Amino acid sequence: MNMFKRVAALSILTGLTLTAAPASSFAADLFPGYGGVLSEVSAELYIPLRPFSARLFPENNAVGVSQSPTLGAANLNLGTSVQYHFQVDTAPGMDSQGGAPLLSFSQASAQSFVGQGAFSGQDAAISVSSDAYTAVSTGTFAFYSNSAKLGAGTLYYWRARAKPAGGGYGAWSSTSSFTTGNFAVQNPANHLEISGVTLSGATSTGTVIINFTIAENNVTTGTSSGGGAYNTADWVFVKFSTQAGADGSWNHATLTGGSAGAGAALTAASDNKGVFLNHTANSAYWTAGNTLIWNFGADAVVLAKVRVKVFAVSMVRVPSGSFVYNVGNLGGTTSNNIAGPKTVDSNLTDDLPAGAPAGWPNGYNSFYMGRYEITQGQYADFLNTVWSSTAAALYSSDVAYGHNMTNVGSYPNKYAAVDPNAAKNYVSYADAWGYLSWAGLRPPTEMEWEKAGRDIGGDSRTYPWGDTAPDLTTYAPPNEGGTCIRRFMNYNNTAGCAKVLDVGRYMSGDVYRTAAETGASPWGIADLAGNVWELTINCSWASVPLNGDGTLNLPASWPVPGAATAGIRGGCWNDYASYGRVSDRSLASWAYTARSNYVGSRAARTP
Residue 55 falls inside a structural domain: yes
Tell me, yes or no, whether 308 and 194 share the same domain.
yes
Rounded-to-integer distance, Cα 293 and Cα 234, Å? 16
Rounded-to-integer distance, Cα 83 and Cα 81, Å? 7
The pLDDT value recorded for residue 7 is 52
User: Which residues fall within 8 angstroms of residue 220, CB to CB, at 6 or more apart?
Assistant: 30, 231, 232, 279, 282, 283, 524
Task: Say whether the peptide bond before residue 48 is cis (omega within 30 degrees of 0).
Answer: no
Question: pLDDT tens across 514-568, in order?
Answer: 889 999 999 999 999 999 999 999 999 999 999 999 999 999 999 999 899 999 9
Which of the two residues, 211 and 53, has the higher pLDDT score? 211
Residue ranges making up the domain that contains 276: 7-30+187-316
Average pLDDT, the chain: 86
Which of the two residues, 15 and 195, has the higher pLDDT score? 195
The pLDDT value recorded for residue 8 is 55
Given pLDDT bands bounded at 50, 70 and 90, which one contains residue 115? confident
Tell me, yes or no, whether 130 and 247 share the same domain.
no
Whether the pLDDT of residue 129 is over 60: the answer is yes
| pLDDT, mean of residues 308-325 | 97
Given pLDDT bands bounded at 50, 70 and 90, which one contains residue 43? very low
**DSSP result, 480-510:** T-S-EE-SS---TT-TT--S--BTTGGGS-S
Q: Is 143 exposed, middle or buried (0-12, 13-18, 19+ CB in 10 A)?
A: buried
Tell me, yes or no, whether 157 and 25 share the same domain.
no
| 166: alpha, beta or left? (left if phi > 0; alpha if psi -120 to 50) | left
Residues comprising the chain, all counted: 607
Percentage of the chain beyond pLDDT 90 is 65
Tell me, yes or no, whether 253 and 303 share the same domain.
yes
Rounded-to-integer distance, Cα 402 and Cα 423, Å? 8
Rounded-to-integer distance, Cα 417 and Cα 403, Å? 9
Q: Given 180, 212, 243, which residue is the final one in a domain?
A: 180
Residue 241 falls inside a structural domain: yes
Q: Given 180, 198, 220, which residue is the final one in a domain?
A: 180
Tell me, yes or no, whether 116 and 233 share the same domain.
no
Element (H, E) at 239: strand 229-241
Whether the Cβ atoms of residue 409 and residue 391 lie closer than 8 Å to each other: no
Question: pLDDT tens across 456-475, in order?
Answer: 999 999 999 999 999 999 99
Whether the Cβ atoms of residue 529 and residue 464 lie closer than 8 Å to each other: yes
Whether the Cβ atoms of residue 367 and residue 443 lie closer than 8 Å to each other: no
Q: Given 316, 337, 359, which residue is the final one in a domain?
A: 316
The segment with the largest mean pLDDT, out of 74-88, 153-167, 354-368, 506-520, is 354-368
Tell me, yes or no, whether 173 and 224 share the same domain.
no
